[in-house]
Structure 1
Amino acid sequence: MNSLTGDRIEVVAHQTAKNGKTFCGDSYFFTITDEYFVCVLADGLGSGEFAYEASAAVIDAVKQHHQESVETLMNLGNAALLQKRGAAVTIFKIYFHTREFVYSCVGNIRFFMYSSKGKLTYPLPVTGYLSGRPQIFHTQRFSYEPHSKFIVYSDGYEFQGVKSLLKGLFPVRMIADEIIHHYPKLDDDATFIIGSLL
C-alpha cells in the first residue's frame, strides 16, 4: 500500500498486477500542495509491458505539470499516448480553499465521493480511451463537504455497495485493508485509491 497524509487529506492506494506479472498496466500518481490535491489513474489497454508503457506515459505528463488545470492535464496525457497503446484515464483535483473538486475521465474508471451528510456523488465517465488523437474532454466541477470520502478504481475491481464501503467513521486505511481482504485480485490489473478529506 502507498499512502499520503496532509493537514487536509489522507489517501491510501493499492495495486496488483494481473496473475502476478512483472508489469502492471495500471499507473497512478497523486500529490498535495497547500492549495490542492491532484490524482491521476491510468489503465493501459490490455495488460503487460505495453499497457504499462502507455499508462506510465500519462503519469509522467501529469507529474511534470500537475499545477495545470484538469483539462490541460487531460490534453497533455492524451498527447503522451501518441503511437502508444492507449489508456483509460481519470484526473481530478480537489481545491481545499473553495471546497470543490474538478474531474475528468475517459474510459472505464470509476469515481465515487460520499459526503458526511450521506450524499453520494458519481460523475459519469465518458466511454472510450485516450490514444493521442484530438479529443474534447468533459470536465465536471462539484462542491464537497468536509469529512467526505472518495474512491477511484480501475475496472479490475467490481465493488458491490460502494456506499457501504465509504460511510461510517472508519479510517481509510481500515477500509483499504477490508477491500484487499474481500477483493483479492489475480485475473486483471487492479488499482484503487481511497481518500478522506479532513
Structure 2
Amino acid sequence: MRLLRAGAQTHEIPIDDASRVGQVRRVAAQVAQRAGFDEEDTGRVALVATELATNVLKHAGRGVMQVQAIAGDGGEGVELVAIDRGAGFDYVACLADGMSTSGTRGIGLGAVQRQAQVVDLFSDARGSVVMARFFPRGGTYRDVRYGASQRALGGALECGDGWGIAWTGTQCSVVVVDGLGHGPLAHEAANAATRAFAEAGHADPATTMDALHAAMSGTRGGAVAIAAYDAAPGTMRFAGIGNISGALHSPDGSRGLASHPGIVGVQYRRAQSFDYADAAGKLLVLHSDGVNTRWSLRDYPGLAARHPAVIAAVLMRDFDRGRDDATVVVVALGGTR
C-alpha cells in the first residue's frame, strides 16, 4: 500500500501568555478529530498539548507550538512540536534511548511519554524542541521517520510552498515546491505540483518533474526538487529545477544535490535525474529559499541522531529568513520505527 502525505501548512500557535495554552489545546484537539481520532485518543493529544505549552511558558517564558496531521505506516497520526529559545536542559539525561523519555527532569516529559507513541527532543543553549507523535491506540501503526515544518510569510493562511511524501515500505519519494513569489497565486502553483506528485507514483524523478511541469502550466510556476529512494540497492535519484536546496547528510559530512536553472510550469531546458549511491542510513534535507542555506548539522552536536521532525523544527527556528514562505523536509532514508 502506498503511504502518501501531501503536506498541509503547519498550524503554529505562539505561546506568550497563559491564554495561549487553551488555544493550543483546542487546535490540537481539532487536528486529532479531523485525523479520525476517537474521544479517548483526542483527549491524549489535548492533554500533552496542554502540558507542553505550559512547560514552554514555565521554563522559557515564550515559544511556539506546531501542530499537524502526519502519515504513519498504517494510518494517520498527529504531531505536536514545542519550540522555544530558553536556556535549554540536559536532554541526554532525559532519554532512555534515542526515541523516548526516561524521566521528567522537572519538565513534565514523563506525562508526555505515557500518552504519546513517539517522543524525541533536542536542547542546547539556543533553546529546546520537544516532539510528540500520536496514533490511535486501537490500531497497529509504525512511525515513518520524516519531519516537515512549514511557515507562510507573515502568518498568511495560504502558503506558496508545498511538499509531499510517498512511501511503500521499500521505496520513498519526496517533493518540495516553492511557488514563484508568495500569496494565493504561489499557493495555486504549489498545489498543482503536489496534486501531480500524488498521481505520479514512484516514477523516476525526471519523469515526475515533466508531469509536474504539465500540471503547473498556466500557473506562476515555481522551483521543484524531487528525490526517490529505493531501499533494495540503497540508492537515491534526484532531480531539481530552481533554487530548492537539497543535501544528503551523514556523520562523515554532507553532499549537496544538483539542480538545474528554470521555472517548472513555465520553462526549463530539461529535467535530469542524478544517482546517489550508498544513501541508506543518511538524512535527506530539502528546503525552500525561505530558509537560510548557511547552516551545518555539525554546529548542533547530537542533532543528526534525533528524529527528523525535531531536526526540521530546529532548522526552521534558527534559519527562517522571515522574508518568504519557508519549508523544511527531513527524511531518514530507510527509516520506519
TM normalised by structure 1 equals 0.88
Q: Structure 2 counterpart of 1:88, which letter?
A: A
For the residue of structure 2 that corresponds to 1:80, the secondary structure is helix
2:213 aligned to which of 74, 78, 81: 78
Moved more, 171-180 or 159-168: 159-168
Moved more, 62-71 or 169-178: 169-178
Alpha-carbon contact 2:239-2:258 (below 8 Å) kept: no
For the pair 1:67 / 2:199, whether they are aligned, the reply is no
Report which of the two structures shows the higher radius of gyration computed on alpha carbons.
Answer: 2
Detail structure 1 runs of 4+ shifted over 6 Å in the superposition.
none
1:77-96 pair list within 5 angstroms? 77-96=212-231
Q: Which fold has the larger relative contact order, with Cα–Cα distance below 8 Å and residues 6 or more apart in sequence?
A: 1
For the pair 1:53 / 2:151, whether they are aligned, the reply is no
Alpha-carbon contact 1:115-1:145 (below 8 Å) kept: no
For the pair 1:130 / 2:264, whether they are aligned, the reply is yes
Alpha-carbon contact 2:248-2:257 (below 8 Å) kept: no
Mark the runs of 5 or more structure 1 residues left unpaired by the alignment: none
Give the drift of 1:129.
Answer: 1.3
Alpha-carbon contact 2:235-2:280 (below 8 Å) kept: no
Which residue number corresponds to residue 35 of structure 1? 170
* Number of positions where the alignment pairs a residue of Structure 1 with one of Structure 2: 197
Q: d(CA) in 1 for partners of 2:206 and 2:248?
A: 20
Structure 1 residues 124 and 69, CA gap change in structure 2 (3 angstroms): closer
Give the drift of 1:168.
Answer: 4.3
Give the drift of 1:63.
Answer: 0.3
Mark the runs of 5 or more structure 2 residues left unpaired by the alignment: 1-9, 11-67, 74-141
Between structures 1 and 2, the one with greater helix share: 2
Taking only aligned residues, the RMSD between alpha carbons, in angstroms, comes to 2.3
Which residue number corresponds to residue 289 of structure 2? 155
For the pair 1:176 / 2:176, whether they are aligned, the reply is no
For the residue of structure 1 that corresponds to 2:209, the secondary structure is helix
Give the drift of 1:20.
Answer: 0.9
Q: d(CA) in 2 for partners of 1:72 and 1:8?
A: 29
Which residue number corresponds to residue 115 of structure 1? 250
Give the drift of 1:120.
Answer: 1.7
Cα displacement string for residues 30-73 of structure 1 (whole angstroms, at most 9, x for unaligned residues): 02003310011110001111101111111111101223221210
Moved more, 133-142 or 75-84: 133-142
Alpha-carbon contact 2:231-2:280 (below 8 Å) kept: no
